[in-house]
Structure 1
Amino acid sequence: MADLVRYATANGVATITLDSPHNRNALSAQLRRELRDHLAAAAGDDTVRVIVLDHTGPVFCAGMDLKEAGNAGSATDGVNEFPDILASIWTSAKPVVAKLAGPARAGGVGLVAAADIAVAVEDATFAFTEVRLGLVPAVISVTVLPRLLPRAAHELFLTGEKFDAGRAVEIGLLNAAVPADRLDDEVARYTGMLALGGPTALAATKEMLRRARAADLADDFADMLELSAGFFAGAEGQEGIAAFAQKRPASWVPVSEG
């Protein structure tokens, strides 16, 4: 059986490519399994600094495989497995960049929202199609709702209306929408910037961004002061400060493979 997800690494970037264009990269059981395994491989590889979610074919991801979902047991398995995939992206210690050369629907939009950075071509489209199938966009709401403006979330979740990449940027789903001939360069620009950050600092910053803030302002400042002081005094912070003073790359910056 041919693989439906490909994995490659270069210059500190792990690229995970959905490669099931025959069904618009739908989240079949095989694709989910391979995607989960490759995410775990990237997480466990110390040479990987950034993860890119890419795709082949004209569609990034069409959501759950509806042919499989016609079987109640398979549908339940998909619903049960997908949160683990979204959580592994959302909580990844390494920044994740979603790269879209085409549309995303339903669960595919959940993948986009789970990523830290998302870049799409200008003619990419998006939709939360669940309600039009008599379903609820429940699982993906966990990653999507923190990204979207509330009024837009109500509109788009309830209507299932298709929207373009420009609007996706406006409501917070995407970081950028670019012409197709600039997509690779824009993704490389983001991965290049992300790779300059200290790996432990990036992981801690991601965790900080996810945390619930303390109700009391003084407690919140105390927590953040402790976090900041630990990194100033830590080995990674001291290396970063020394590299800045000596005008050299920090030790964690990947060396180009050519």
Structure 2
Amino acid sequence: MANLILSERVARGVQSVTFNRPNQRNALSIELLESLCLELNQLEQDQENRVVILGGKGKVFSAGLDLREAADMTLVQRSASAVKQTLSRLRETPLVVIATVHGGAFAGGAGVMAACDIVIAAEDARISFPEARRGLLPALVMEVLRHKVREGDLRELLLLGEPVDAARAQQIGLVQRIVPAAQLRDTAIVVARSVLAGGPETIRQTKALLGVAFAEHESAEEDDLIDLHLAARHSDEAREGLAAFLQKRDPKWP
């Protein structure tokens, strides 16, 4: 399982995690998804780790689910559970996850991409949710997509199943930045360093706050938001951040 995921430290606080099934276009097998969740769990154990740059080896980010497994009725439940767990882990992990998408992200691969906090796409990247064309329902990625894409655009994505280019993906909210393919990794590291400029605990709490704000069947109550805000304002990091701003210096985080 370890060979399905390549993991390396690229800078202090920044870990590169790469899908390693290039010959299968990084199809999301059960073992690959379970390996990704395990890797996130392990990275979370070290408080120094703050950002994950997620990519794919080979010609594409990910072609989607391993359809051979998807067609095996004895594996359907396990496959669906692995997808659901992966999407939840990416959204709920305190680590900030930056997806670097080259070539393409399709179906489940596009869902994994959308579950990341920030998406940087190569200029030639193409993204699609072709589940309807394969007789599948995009039920597991719907919760992720409904918060990122306007209804009309989401209907077009899911009902047509046609690939969109990086520019269109950015226009509808699936992609945040577009760069030449050769600059994907360097750009991701620059973005990661911007994340590192924030207080470690503040960034973790901000991601948790975003999770609450967009949680299914939940709404962030105003009093709860105020309480969270006030708790953060009384933190050591808030004091250091405000002091650094007033003194016109970089904050000194732990």
Match of 2:181 in 1: 180
Name the structure 2 match of 1:98: 99
Q: Secondary structure at the match of 2:231?
A: helix
- Structure 1 residue 92: deviation in Å? 1.5
CA contact (8 A) 2:20 2:57 kept: yes
Amino acid at match of 2:4: L
TM-score under structure 1 length normalisation: 0.89
**Per-residue Cα deviation, 1:90-134 (whole angstroms, up to 9, x for no partner):** 011121100112200011111111111000101100111111111
Partner of 1:7: 7
1: CA distance, partners of 2:196 / 2:172? 27
Separation of aligned partners in 2, 1:245 and 1:184: 34
Gap regions ≥5 residues in structure 1: 214-218, 254-258
In the TM superposition, what are the counterparts of 1:123-138 in structure 2 within 5 Å?
A: 123-138=124-139
Identity %: 36
Q: Out of 243-252 and 191-200, give the one that drifted further.
A: 243-252
Match of 1:228 in 2: 229
Distance 2:212 2:182 in 1: 37
Tell me the distance in 1 between the aligned counterparts of 2:17 and 2:131. 26
Shift of 1:39: 1.1
Matched, 1:19 2:20: yes
Give the TM-score taking structure 2 as reference length.
0.91
- For the residue of structure 1 that corresponds to 2:75, the secondary structure is helix
Three-state SS of the structure 2 residue aligned to 1:47 is coil
Query: What displacement does 1:185 show?
Result: 2.8
Question: Counterparts of 2:131 and 2:102 in 1: how far apart (Å)?
Answer: 23
The question of whether the paired residues in 2 share the 8 Å contact of 1:50 and 1:96 is answered with yes
Number of equivalenced pairs: 248
Deviations 1:130-157 (A, max 9, x none): 1111110110112122111210110110
For the pair 1:71 / 2:72, whether they are aligned, the reply is: yes
Tell me by how many angstroms 1:241 deviates: 2.6
11 and 212 in structure 1: CA distance in 2 versus 1, 3 angstrom threshold: closer
2:121 corresponds to: 120
CA-atom RMSD in angstroms: 1.9
Displacement of 1:220 in angstroms is 5.0
Supply the AA of the counterpart residue of 2:103: G
Partners of 1:52 and 1:92 lie apart in 2 by 13
Residues 94, 199 of structure 1: 8 Å contact kept: no
- Counterpart for residue 153 of structure 1: 154
Q: Secondary structure at the match of 1:147?
A: coil
Amino acid in the other structure paired with 1:252:
W
Q: Which residue of 2 aligns with 1:256?
A: none
Stretch moving more, 157-166 or 71-80: 71-80
Q: What is the DSSP-based 3-state SS (H/G/I as helix, E as strand, rest coil) of the residue aligned with 1:211?
A: helix
Match of 2:217 in 1: none
Name the structure 1 match of 2:251.
250
